[in-house]
């Protein structure tokens, strides 16, 4: 954990998860222990309490108020060696990275720039882990504007993942006759025709049993219609 600033007259509190490299960044009105604790409480409410809080020797982190906060929450507060703030290398590098990124993002107010920066940071694979912070912390990729503009990139990545895992996703063409599982008493499968592909594994179909009405169709529940 560390403070950054001033950047265009603003100060920020940065918190980095050492495992996933997930960054939380908040603009703060002051560098006091009270403000720092308040922001940390908000972050911990989302991510849970850490075992260790590593910081420099700033007064916000060495005060009795902060030490008591850490103790009450069962966190071990560790301060880097005096006059060697670079010992807190991970946070120091993130501080510089955040400052540089915010300066380059000229459009939008400060909060908007922070949100854009954090989304990019959370979604970008880290060179040391090979995975994005979101994948390591949440177990999944998060959607960005790039995915909306170029969805084929996501599809290609999913296909490569399936190949590595040895899984196969069935696909169907528009106009193809298929069987759809029925969950009502009677026939287990009902004949249908694929009308439109609506996603990587979902389709809209017209059922022969209910005329022109349409229902959602999902690949795992499909089988090709016999004959």
How many domains does the chain contain in total?
2
Q: Say if residue 14 is in the same domain as residue 107.
A: yes
As given in the structure block, the two tokens for residue 178 are 């298929």
Q: Say if residue 95 is in the same domain as residue 206.
A: no
List pLDDT tens digits, range 64-115: 999 999 999 999 999 886 555 555 566 667 777 877 777 776 656 888 888 8
- pLDDT band at residue 8, thresholds of 50, 70 and 90? confident
Cα separation values, 79 from 55, 101, 122, Å:
5, 27, 26
Q: What's the order of all strands across the beta sheet hosting 2-7?
A: 2-7, 10-16, 23-28
Q: Does the residue 38 lie in any domain?
A: yes
List pLDDT tens digits, range 160-218: 545 544 545 567 777 787 777 665 566 567 777 777 666 555 555 654 433 333 444 44
Q: Say if residue 184 is in the same domain as residue 106.
A: no
Give the predicted TM-score (pTM) of the model. 0.61
Cα separation values, 51 from 71, 88, 170, Å:
11, 16, 45
Coil, strand or helix: which one is 222? Answer: strand
Q: Which domain holds residue 211?
A: 176-218
Q: What is the pLDDT at residue 216?
A: 43
Q: Which CATH number covers residue 114? A: 3.30.420.10
Q: Say if residue 118 is in the same domain as residue 198.
A: no
């Amino acid at each position: 954990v560390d403070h950054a600033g001033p950047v265009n007259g603003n100060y920020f509190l940065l918190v980095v998860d050492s495992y996933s490299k997930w960054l939380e960044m908040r603009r703060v009105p002051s560098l006091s222990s009270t403000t720092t604790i308040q922001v940390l409480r908000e972050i911990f409410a989302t991510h849970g309490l850490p075992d260790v809080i590593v910081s420099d020797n700033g007064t916000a982190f060495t005060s009795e108020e902060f030490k008591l906060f850490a103790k009450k929450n069962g966190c071990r507060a560790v301060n880097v060696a005096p006059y060697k703030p670079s010992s807190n290398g991970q946070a120091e590098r993130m501080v510089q990275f955040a400052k540089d990124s915010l300066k380059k993002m000229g459009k939008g107010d400060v909060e908007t720039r922070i949100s854009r920066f954090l989304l990019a940071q959370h979604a970008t694979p880290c060179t040391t882990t090979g995975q994005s912070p979101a994948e390591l912390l949440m177990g999944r990729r998060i959607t960005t504007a790039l995915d909306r503009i170029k969805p084929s990139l996501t599809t290609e990545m999913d296909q490569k993942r399936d190949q590595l895992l040895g899984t196969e996703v069935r696909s169907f063409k528009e106009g193809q006759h298929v069987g759809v599982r029925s969950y009502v008493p009677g026939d287990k499968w009902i004949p249908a025709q694929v009308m439109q592909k609506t996603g990587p594994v979902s389709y809209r179909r017209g059922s022969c049993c209910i005329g022109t009405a349409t229902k959602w169709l999902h690949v795992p529940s499909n089988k090709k219609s016999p004959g």
